[in-house]
Chains A and B, each alone.
Chain A
Amino acid sequence: MLTRRALFRVSVALPLLAVRGPATVWAADLRPRRCPENECGYLFDPDLGVPEHEIPPGVAFAELPDDWECPECGTPKYLW
């Protein structure tokens, strides 16, 4: 099924690839990632960014600062 998020990816993210760089890199990077912590459930979604950390939409997980932590539970990036 096509979720709202998937639809966004097709309609918005794909055109972005054309102007922002090699599609092979961006196509992989712009997928959302779920926090690995049990019972946290936070979804890092490049479509949304991380407002509380002033991370704008369109930033891939790999581009987050090394000391970035899950805004919900504090799990550091290196444990994702």
Chain B
Amino acid sequence: MKKIDLSRFSCRAEAYEASDDIPTNRSDAPTIGDVINRRFGRRDVLKGALGVAAMGAVAGTGLAALGGKKALAASASYSFTEIEHGVDETHHVAPGYSADVLIRWGDPIFADAPEFDPMNQSAESQAKQFGYNNDYIGYLPLPYGSDNAERGLLCVNHEYTNEEIMFPGLGKQDGDAEFAGMTQDLVDIEMAAHGGSVIEIAKSGGAWQVVRDSEYNRRITASGTEMELTGPAAGHDLMKTSADPSGTKVMGTINNCAGGMTPWGTYLMAEENFHGYFWGDVEGHPQQAAMERYGVPGAWYAWGAFYDRFDVSKEPNEANRFGWIVEVDPLDSTSTPKKRTALGRFKHEGGESVVNGDGRVVVYMGDDQRFDYLYKFVTAGTYNPDDRAANMDLLDEGTLYVAKFHEDGKVEWMPLVQGEGPLTAENGFPDQATVVTQARLAADALGATPLDRPEDVEPNPQTGKVYVMLTNNSRRKPEQVDAVNPRAENRFGQIVEITAANGDHGSTEDTWDMLVVCGDPADGAVGAMWNPATSENGWFACPDNCAVDNQGRLWISTDQGSGWSRSGTADGIWALETEGELRGTGMMFFRVPIGAEMCGPKFTPDDTTLFVAVQHPATDGTKAYPGFERSSTFEDPATRWPDFQDGVPPRPSVVAITKEGGGKIGS
């Protein structure tokens, strides 16, 4: 951290009031120390190309564009012409591809839904229109059980809202303005813009279209979709509220970031920064320490002003009912979504799963905060491919594990099971309901490895490898550096590869390697590690989501926030080689407009369409956008993507990428 010059201040306070914004994980799990050189020295350097990159990075030499094209042509898994780093008002895709907007915030998704009218928004309209800030994208082929790549259900999360560019005449309603402009009507629109959408889409004349009158179409919202709590925490005292004395029913879901599709065709929505919606004071709260560990209250939104349940001073347990994995059956638009408490409560980034060799299902999950953990859930029962109904409650029973990374390349998976190890009543864990509800505290007690913000975690069913996006951690101090988090003040992130022992995802001891250490390889101070075949456009920063295509190839999407002004490029999609001599080589495929984040990459089963989610265009870092250099508002946004019409604000949208003339993406 930069040294702050205090000379200009007239006084220096001796004690500070505790801030609720410091990292909530105060666990002092031992760091591994100065092991990066040993770790890379002993293992990765022997692996060839990546080792060369590692040594180059250590020596501070530039590695970009070092004649790698020849090698690339020899054995590359991907074949497309890279686009260039940069930032402007619109999106870009590799030559020879089309990137067409499929659906935008506000587009009607029912036959009787009103058309988007930004000057006359209402909660009622929003509940029938596509929500805000599309994030996760799932694709379920129709009919169920087929591999249809031309008709299916798109399952899309709507993570959160940006009121300053969503609503006319408002501006940013932050702590400064104390939400002065936020009325209950606006809050109700926000609540209806959160959650998710299930929409039927079909290819017609070579182009994807939304089927508006489909029986499957559904909006899931924070305010209008009742959900059921299932698993160990259902009905527990920690779940009970004045509106729900049974502790089993919750209204809505919030901050759904990434997610996953299960092998039985259900849609998992990961509840991430739920703390940001709660108001109140946790001083003297019955679970004060746990609330603080989860960052409650965050007070990012005005909801607590109008709804008592979003104020922990008034409804102490409501916050315990968020932060779960929600399972939705997209084939039944009337089904009740289930919050599967067996998978633990934390700031869930996603929930991608794999069927293990023995039939059990394993869900990998990151807890997206600086210094938080990597988890996996292993079902007790086994997946039945011939009986969909038999799988519908598989996620209620099983074992939740948290990861501890060792410097020798081992990953130890430690069970979060009440009564085992430190998880006893004496230590504050009287039952399994408490263990899963306060999963972060349980993982602290077990000594899990604090990571640089674990985001998406995706298994590759073809290789048994698991890819873990660690996006960044500007707060890591030099003394906290360890093998899996090798940089202090890490602004660029890294991708860790876990190899399931003997292909067994239920194993409690796996191995890990570093795939890439992100950032500009030409800048020695960054300490990046890429295959030298990576071009000047092929490196990226802040990996966030990812997709493994049906050929087992890895694609990464990024979220740098305002950090694009450091890297010089907007977020996007990069292909990333994982095997052979080119392992660790990136190639840039798609770029988002100014201020946006790239989310949701998802391929159709034949890899001919790649769906991507462009989230919050015109927001991040616009004060650094040359020629604009100010904050965006509804009236004055940095871009009006994708409509580019006066009076129409920028709109988060899903984009369908196809190859001109057909064919597999990247081949």
Contact = CB atoms under 8 A, between A and B. Distances in A.
A23 interface: no
A43 B279 CA distance: 14
A76 to B, nearest CB: 8
A8 B553 CA distance: 55
Contacts of A31: 175-176
B621 interface: yes
Nearest to A49: B16
Contacts of A41: 21, 273, 276, 298, 300
Given A36-B562, A40-B561, A57 B17 contact: yes
Contact of A45 (B175, B279, B472): B175
Nearest to B257: A39
A22 interface: no
Interface string B296-327: 00111000010000000000000000000000
B475 interface: yes
B175 A32 contact: yes
Contacts, number: 117
Contacts of A34: 172, 174-176, 300
Interface stretch (B7-15, B85-93, B262-270): B7-15
Interface string A25-41: 00000011110111111
A50 B1 CA distance: 13
Contacts of B23: 72
Contact of A43 (B21, B160, B624): B21
Contacts of B474: 69, 72-74
Interface residues of B, number: 50
Nearest to A72: B21
Contacts of A78: 623-624
B162 interface: yes
Contact of A48 (B19, B281, B619, B623): B19
B19 A45 contact: yes
B322 to A, nearest CB: 15
B174 A1 contact: no
B597 interface: yes
A38 B616 contact: yes
Contacts of B472: 74
Nearest to A67: B2
Interface in A36-72: 36-43, 45, 47-59, 63, 65, 67-69, 71-72
B565 to A, nearest CB: 7
B631 interface: yes
A4 B281 contact: yes
Nearest to B561: A37
A58 B13 CA distance: 10
A18 interface: no
A37 B620 contact: yes
A57 B12 CA distance: 9
B4 A6 contact: no
A39 B162 contact: no
A56 B11 CA distance: 7
B389 interface: no
Nearest to B305: A1
Given A1-B305, A63-B8, A49 B13 contact: yes
Interface in B1-52: 1-2, 4-6, 8-9, 11-13, 16-19, 21-23
A41 B590 CA distance: 28
B4 A54 contact: yes
Given A74-B474, A75-B561, A65 B305 contact: no
Contacts of B475: 71-72
A4 B472 CA distance: 33
A78 B624 CA distance: 9
Contact of B22 (A38, A58, A71): A71
A79 B624 contact: yes
Interface in B604-653: 616, 619-621, 623-624, 631
Contacts of A73: 474, 561
A79 B623 contact: yes
A54 B6 contact: yes
Contacts of B623: 78-79
B631 A36 contact: yes
15 contacts: A1-B305, A33-B175, A36-B172, A39-B273, A42-B21, A45-B19, A48-B16, A49-B16, A51-B18, A51-B19, A55-B4, A56-B11, A71-B1, A72-B474, A79-B621
Interface of A: 1, 3-6, 31-34, 36-43, 45, 47-59, 63, 65, 67-69, 71-76, 78-79
Given A52-B22, A65-B4, 8 more contacts: A38-B561, A42-B21, A43-B299, A58-B11, A65-B8, A67-B2, A74-B472, A74-B474
